[in-house]
Chain A
Amino acid sequence: MSTLQVSNLNDGTTTVATTFVTSGSAKVFSKTSADGTSITKSFNVSSLVDTNTGQQTININSNMSDGDYIVQVGKHTSAANAEWVQSTAVGSFIMYNYNGSSYVDSIMFTSVDGDLA
Protein backbone atom coordinates (compact mmCIF):
# COMPACT_ATOMS: atom_id res chain seq x y z
CA MET A 1 0.00 0.00 0.00
CA SER A 2 1.37 3.43 -0.90
CA THR A 3 0.78 6.55 1.17
CA LEU A 4 0.15 10.03 -0.14
CA GLN A 5 1.47 12.60 2.32
CA VAL A 6 0.13 16.11 1.88
CA SER A 7 -0.36 18.89 4.38
CA ASN A 8 -2.97 20.88 2.44
CA LEU A 9 -5.68 20.31 -0.16
CA ASN A 10 -6.57 22.92 -2.79
CA ASP A 11 -9.58 22.86 -5.15
CA GLY A 12 -8.31 25.80 -7.23
CA THR A 13 -9.63 28.54 -5.02
CA THR A 14 -9.71 27.31 -1.45
CA THR A 15 -6.93 25.65 0.55
CA VAL A 16 -7.61 23.56 3.64
CA ALA A 17 -5.29 21.54 5.85
CA THR A 18 -5.49 17.76 5.44
CA THR A 19 -6.34 17.58 9.14
CA PHE A 20 -9.53 19.50 8.28
CA VAL A 21 -10.66 16.38 6.40
CA THR A 22 -9.42 13.76 8.85
CA SER A 23 -10.79 15.67 11.84
CA GLY A 24 -14.17 15.83 10.14
CA SER A 25 -14.43 12.05 9.78
CA ALA A 26 -16.63 10.07 12.13
CA LYS A 27 -14.38 8.81 14.93
CA VAL A 28 -16.71 5.96 15.88
CA PHE A 29 -19.75 4.40 14.27
CA SER A 30 -21.89 1.39 15.10
CA LYS A 31 -25.05 -0.48 14.25
CA THR A 32 -26.14 -2.94 16.94
CA SER A 33 -28.81 -5.60 17.19
CA ALA A 34 -32.04 -4.93 19.09
CA ASP A 35 -31.13 -7.29 21.91
CA GLY A 36 -27.71 -5.69 22.31
CA THR A 37 -25.86 -8.94 21.91
CA SER A 38 -24.25 -8.45 18.49
CA ILE A 39 -22.66 -5.70 16.43
CA THR A 40 -23.67 -5.52 12.78
CA LYS A 41 -21.38 -2.74 11.54
CA SER A 42 -18.79 -0.73 13.39
CA PHE A 43 -15.57 1.21 13.45
CA ASN A 44 -13.35 2.02 16.44
CA VAL A 45 -15.55 -0.03 18.79
CA SER A 46 -14.06 -2.63 21.13
CA SER A 47 -17.26 -4.06 22.58
CA LEU A 48 -20.99 -3.68 23.12
CA VAL A 49 -22.65 -4.22 26.50
CA ASP A 50 -26.30 -5.22 26.77
CA THR A 51 -26.90 -3.23 29.96
CA ASN A 52 -30.67 -3.74 30.31
CA THR A 53 -33.80 -3.68 28.17
CA GLY A 54 -33.42 -0.74 25.76
CA GLN A 55 -30.02 0.21 27.16
CA GLN A 56 -26.74 -0.53 25.38
CA THR A 57 -23.19 0.62 26.13
CA ILE A 58 -20.63 1.17 23.38
CA ASN A 59 -16.97 0.86 24.40
CA ILE A 60 -14.55 2.84 22.25
CA ASN A 61 -11.22 1.40 21.09
CA SER A 62 -9.15 4.54 20.43
CA ASN A 63 -10.48 6.85 23.13
CA MET A 64 -11.81 10.36 22.69
CA SER A 65 -9.81 13.19 24.28
CA ASP A 66 -12.60 14.07 26.73
CA GLY A 67 -16.32 13.55 27.29
CA ASP A 68 -17.32 16.60 25.23
CA TYR A 69 -17.93 14.84 21.94
CA ILE A 70 -20.99 14.60 19.73
CA VAL A 71 -23.00 11.39 19.39
CA GLN A 72 -25.75 11.10 16.82
CA VAL A 73 -28.02 8.21 17.74
CA GLY A 74 -30.92 6.65 15.86
CA LYS A 75 -33.16 3.62 16.13
CA HIS A 76 -34.69 1.15 13.68
CA THR A 77 -38.30 1.35 14.79
CA SER A 78 -41.11 3.86 14.77
CA ALA A 79 -42.69 2.38 17.88
CA ALA A 80 -40.43 4.04 20.40
CA ASN A 81 -40.57 7.78 20.77
CA ALA A 82 -37.26 8.75 22.32
CA GLU A 83 -33.66 7.69 22.01
CA TRP A 84 -30.70 9.42 23.55
CA VAL A 85 -27.13 9.04 24.76
CA GLN A 86 -25.88 9.58 28.28
CA SER A 87 -22.70 9.12 30.30
CA THR A 88 -20.29 10.11 27.53
CA ALA A 89 -16.86 9.18 28.87
CA VAL A 90 -13.58 9.11 26.96
CA GLY A 91 -13.92 5.37 26.37
CA SER A 92 -17.66 4.67 26.36
CA PHE A 93 -21.22 5.98 26.16
CA ILE A 94 -24.66 4.54 26.92
CA MET A 95 -27.61 4.55 24.48
CA TYR A 96 -31.22 4.52 25.69
CA ASN A 97 -34.46 3.82 23.85
CA TYR A 98 -37.74 4.75 25.62
CA ASN A 99 -41.34 4.50 24.42
CA GLY A 100 -42.90 6.85 26.96
CA SER A 101 -43.60 4.26 29.62
CA SER A 102 -40.67 1.85 29.52
CA TYR A 103 -37.34 1.11 27.90
CA VAL A 104 -37.63 -1.05 24.78
CA ASP A 105 -35.13 -2.98 22.70
CA SER A 106 -34.34 -1.64 19.24
CA ILE A 107 -31.65 -1.78 16.60
CA MET A 108 -29.50 1.29 17.32
CA PHE A 109 -27.19 3.39 15.12
CA THR A 110 -24.54 5.81 16.31
CA SER A 111 -21.92 8.11 14.84
CA VAL A 112 -19.41 10.02 16.97
CA ASP A 113 -17.66 13.25 16.06
CA GLY A 114 -15.06 15.02 18.15
CA ASP A 115 -11.40 14.97 19.09
CA LEU A 116 -9.42 11.80 19.62
CA ALA A 117 -7.01 11.36 22.52
Chain B
Amino acid sequence: MENKNPLVILRDVCKTYRRGSQTIPVLQDINLEINEGDFIALMGPSGSGKSTLLNLIAGIDKADCGSITIGGVDITTLSETELARWRGLHVGFIFQFYNLIPVLTAYENIELPLLLSDLSKKERREHVEMTLEMVSLSDRSEHFPSQLSGGQQQRVAIARAVVTDPTILVADEPTGDLDRVSAAEILGLMERLNTQLSKTIIMVTHDPRAAEKARIIRHLDKGYLNADHKTYL
Protein backbone atom coordinates (compact mmCIF):
# COMPACT_ATOMS: atom_id res chain seq x y z
CA MET B 1 0.00 0.00 0.00
CA GLU B 2 1.28 3.39 -0.87
CA ASN B 3 1.38 6.22 1.54
CA LYS B 4 -1.32 8.61 0.45
CA ASN B 5 0.16 11.86 1.69
CA PRO B 6 -0.32 14.69 -0.81
CA LEU B 7 3.13 16.21 -0.99
CA VAL B 8 2.53 18.53 -3.92
CA ILE B 9 -0.80 20.33 -4.24
CA LEU B 10 -1.59 22.63 -7.16
CA ARG B 11 -4.85 24.61 -6.97
CA ASP B 12 -6.20 26.63 -9.89
CA VAL B 13 -2.77 27.34 -11.24
CA CYS B 14 -2.36 29.28 -14.47
CA LYS B 15 0.53 30.81 -16.39
CA THR B 16 0.47 33.25 -19.27
CA TYR B 17 3.27 34.67 -21.36
CA ARG B 18 3.18 38.29 -22.29
CA ARG B 19 4.60 39.43 -25.60
CA GLY B 20 4.11 43.14 -25.91
CA SER B 21 0.35 43.57 -25.87
CA GLN B 22 -0.42 39.92 -26.56
CA THR B 23 -1.02 37.42 -23.78
CA ILE B 24 -0.64 33.76 -24.57
CA PRO B 25 -2.05 31.35 -22.01
CA VAL B 26 0.37 28.49 -21.44
CA LEU B 27 -1.32 26.76 -18.51
CA GLN B 28 -4.93 27.09 -17.42
CA ASP B 29 -6.94 25.76 -14.46
CA ILE B 30 -4.31 23.33 -13.29
CA ASN B 31 -5.39 21.28 -10.30
CA LEU B 32 -3.10 18.46 -9.36
CA GLU B 33 -2.09 16.41 -6.36
CA ILE B 34 1.07 14.39 -6.16
CA ASN B 35 1.56 12.02 -3.25
CA GLU B 36 4.75 11.33 -1.44
CA GLY B 37 6.60 8.52 -3.17
CA ASP B 38 4.81 8.98 -6.51
CA PHE B 39 6.65 8.64 -9.79
CA ILE B 40 4.62 10.74 -12.19
CA ALA B 41 5.19 11.41 -15.90
CA LEU B 42 3.78 14.51 -17.58
CA MET B 43 3.28 14.01 -21.29
CA GLY B 44 1.84 15.93 -24.17
CA PRO B 45 2.53 17.43 -27.57
CA SER B 46 4.92 20.31 -28.16
CA GLY B 47 3.48 23.50 -26.71
CA SER B 48 1.19 21.72 -24.29
CA GLY B 49 2.79 23.42 -21.31
CA LYS B 50 4.25 20.37 -19.66
CA SER B 51 7.71 21.84 -19.20
CA THR B 52 6.19 25.02 -17.85
CA LEU B 53 4.22 23.03 -15.31
CA LEU B 54 7.41 21.28 -14.24
CA ASN B 55 9.18 24.62 -13.88
CA LEU B 56 6.39 25.93 -11.66
CA ILE B 57 6.54 22.93 -9.39
CA ALA B 58 10.32 23.16 -9.25
CA GLY B 59 10.10 26.79 -8.22
CA ILE B 60 12.12 28.20 -11.08
CA ASP B 61 9.15 29.98 -12.58
CA LYS B 62 6.28 31.88 -10.97
CA ALA B 63 2.63 31.04 -11.47
CA ASP B 64 0.28 33.84 -12.42
CA CYS B 65 -2.62 32.50 -10.37
CA GLY B 66 -3.39 29.79 -7.90
CA SER B 67 -1.30 28.17 -5.23
CA ILE B 68 1.39 25.53 -5.24
CA THR B 69 1.97 23.86 -1.90
CA ILE B 70 4.88 21.52 -1.50
CA GLY B 71 5.61 19.83 1.80
CA GLY B 72 3.22 22.23 3.49
CA VAL B 73 4.84 25.39 2.05
CA ASP B 74 2.93 27.51 -0.46
CA ILE B 75 5.81 28.46 -2.73
CA THR B 76 3.79 31.05 -4.60
CA THR B 77 4.03 33.25 -1.51
CA LEU B 78 7.79 33.06 -1.21
CA SER B 79 10.08 35.93 -2.24
CA GLU B 80 12.76 35.27 -4.78
CA THR B 81 15.43 34.87 -2.11
CA GLU B 82 13.28 32.55 -0.02
CA LEU B 83 12.41 30.56 -3.13
CA ALA B 84 16.08 30.11 -3.99
CA ARG B 85 16.78 28.86 -0.51
CA TRP B 86 13.81 26.57 -0.68
CA ARG B 87 14.95 25.08 -3.97
CA GLY B 88 18.37 24.37 -2.61
CA LEU B 89 16.87 22.30 0.17
CA HIS B 90 13.88 20.69 -1.44
CA VAL B 91 14.37 20.23 -5.17
CA GLY B 92 16.70 18.00 -7.15
CA PHE B 93 17.05 18.72 -10.88
CA ILE B 94 17.69 16.35 -13.74
CA PHE B 95 17.95 18.07 -17.13
CA GLN B 96 17.88 16.75 -20.66
CA PHE B 97 21.35 18.08 -21.39
CA TYR B 98 22.74 17.22 -17.92
CA ASN B 99 23.75 20.85 -17.30
CA LEU B 100 26.92 19.96 -15.47
CA ILE B 101 29.45 22.74 -14.89
CA PRO B 102 32.20 22.00 -17.43
CA VAL B 103 35.07 23.32 -15.33
CA LEU B 104 34.17 21.27 -12.26
CA THR B 105 34.96 17.60 -11.76
CA ALA B 106 32.22 15.04 -11.22
CA TYR B 107 32.92 15.25 -7.48
CA GLU B 108 32.75 19.03 -7.46
CA ASN B 109 29.58 19.09 -9.53
CA ILE B 110 27.87 16.82 -7.07
CA GLU B 111 29.19 18.86 -4.16
CA LEU B 112 27.84 22.10 -5.62
CA PRO B 113 24.38 22.12 -3.96
CA LEU B 114 25.97 21.29 -0.63
CA LEU B 115 27.99 24.53 -0.77
CA LEU B 116 24.75 26.31 -0.03
CA SER B 117 24.42 24.49 3.26
CA ASP B 118 26.33 24.75 6.51
CA LEU B 119 27.92 21.35 6.26
CA SER B 120 31.63 21.08 6.93
CA LYS B 121 34.02 19.90 4.27
CA LYS B 122 34.17 16.46 5.85
CA GLU B 123 30.40 16.14 6.00
CA ARG B 124 30.10 17.21 2.40
CA ARG B 125 32.64 14.59 1.43
CA GLU B 126 30.58 11.88 3.09
CA HIS B 127 27.43 12.85 1.23
CA VAL B 128 29.16 13.14 -2.14
CA GLU B 129 30.95 9.84 -1.84
CA MET B 130 27.74 8.15 -0.85
CA THR B 131 25.86 9.39 -3.89
CA LEU B 132 28.79 8.57 -6.17
CA GLU B 133 28.58 5.06 -4.85
CA MET B 134 24.86 5.05 -5.49
CA VAL B 135 25.29 5.88 -9.17
CA SER B 136 28.35 3.62 -9.49
CA LEU B 137 30.76 6.34 -10.46
CA SER B 138 33.16 6.38 -7.50
CA ASP B 139 36.09 5.68 -9.80
CA ARG B 140 35.31 8.64 -12.02
CA SER B 141 34.97 11.29 -9.36
CA GLU B 142 37.93 13.36 -10.60
CA HIS B 143 36.86 13.37 -14.22
CA PHE B 144 35.52 16.42 -15.98
CA PRO B 145 32.19 16.22 -17.82
CA SER B 146 34.02 16.33 -21.16
CA GLN B 147 35.72 13.08 -20.16
CA LEU B 148 32.45 11.29 -19.44
CA SER B 149 29.90 9.70 -21.75
CA GLY B 150 26.34 11.00 -21.95
CA GLY B 151 25.04 8.29 -19.69
CA GLN B 152 27.79 8.90 -17.14
CA GLN B 153 27.14 12.62 -17.16
CA GLN B 154 23.46 12.05 -16.49
CA ARG B 155 24.38 9.79 -13.61
CA VAL B 156 26.51 12.54 -12.13
CA ALA B 157 23.57 14.87 -12.60
CA ILE B 158 21.34 12.43 -10.73
CA ALA B 159 23.88 12.17 -7.95
CA ARG B 160 23.90 15.96 -7.75
CA ALA B 161 20.12 15.93 -7.65
CA VAL B 162 19.90 13.61 -4.67
CA VAL B 163 22.91 14.68 -2.64
CA THR B 164 20.88 17.16 -0.60
CA ASP B 165 18.17 14.58 0.03
CA PRO B 166 15.53 16.81 -1.55
CA THR B 167 11.80 16.57 -1.10
CA ILE B 168 11.12 16.18 -4.82
CA LEU B 169 13.09 15.28 -7.90
CA VAL B 170 12.13 17.00 -11.13
CA ALA B 171 13.35 15.60 -14.42
CA ASP B 172 12.91 17.33 -17.79
CA GLU B 173 13.36 14.80 -20.62
CA PRO B 174 16.06 12.92 -18.70
CA THR B 175 16.61 10.41 -21.51
CA GLY B 176 16.21 12.88 -24.38
CA ASP B 177 19.88 12.95 -25.31
CA LEU B 178 20.79 9.33 -24.56
CA ASP B 179 21.07 6.16 -26.60
CA ARG B 180 18.88 3.19 -25.76
CA VAL B 181 21.30 1.48 -23.41
CA SER B 182 22.19 4.56 -21.41
CA ALA B 183 18.56 5.59 -21.30
CA ALA B 184 17.62 2.28 -19.82
CA GLU B 185 20.36 2.65 -17.22
CA ILE B 186 19.17 6.08 -16.19
CA LEU B 187 15.57 5.04 -15.99
CA GLY B 188 16.53 2.04 -13.91
CA LEU B 189 18.39 4.31 -11.55
CA MET B 190 15.46 6.64 -11.24
CA GLU B 191 13.14 3.73 -10.62
CA ARG B 192 15.36 2.52 -7.80
CA LEU B 193 15.44 5.99 -6.29
CA ASN B 194 11.68 5.92 -6.26
CA THR B 195 11.07 2.38 -5.06
CA GLN B 196 13.98 1.94 -2.68
CA LEU B 197 14.44 5.44 -1.36
CA SER B 198 10.84 6.62 -1.71
CA LYS B 199 11.87 9.65 -3.74
CA THR B 200 8.97 11.58 -5.26
CA ILE B 201 9.77 12.05 -8.95
CA ILE B 202 8.01 14.34 -11.39
CA MET B 203 9.15 13.78 -14.93
CA VAL B 204 8.37 15.42 -18.27
CA THR B 205 8.99 13.14 -21.20
CA HIS B 206 8.26 12.23 -24.82
CA ASP B 207 9.84 8.88 -24.46
CA PRO B 208 7.27 6.05 -24.04
CA ARG B 209 9.89 3.85 -22.38
CA ALA B 210 10.43 6.53 -19.77
CA ALA B 211 6.70 6.86 -19.30
CA GLU B 212 6.54 3.13 -18.70
CA LYS B 213 8.80 3.43 -15.69
CA ALA B 214 6.58 6.01 -14.12
CA ARG B 215 3.51 4.67 -12.41
CA ILE B 216 1.27 7.66 -12.99
CA ILE B 217 0.91 9.35 -16.35
CA ARG B 218 -0.86 12.64 -16.89
CA HIS B 219 -1.41 14.31 -20.23
CA LEU B 220 -1.45 17.98 -21.02
CA ASP B 221 -3.05 19.51 -24.05
CA LYS B 222 -2.99 23.17 -24.97
CA GLY B 223 -2.35 24.18 -21.39
CA TYR B 224 -5.00 21.99 -19.78
CA LEU B 225 -4.42 18.92 -17.67
CA ASN B 226 -6.45 15.98 -18.91
CA ALA B 227 -8.72 14.59 -16.30
CA ASP B 228 -8.05 10.95 -16.98
CA HIS B 229 -4.83 9.41 -15.93
CA LYS B 230 -3.25 6.07 -16.00
CA THR B 231 -1.88 4.58 -12.90
CA TYR B 232 0.37 1.60 -12.82
CA LEU B 233 1.12 -0.30 -9.69
Q: Do A and B come from one complex?
A: no
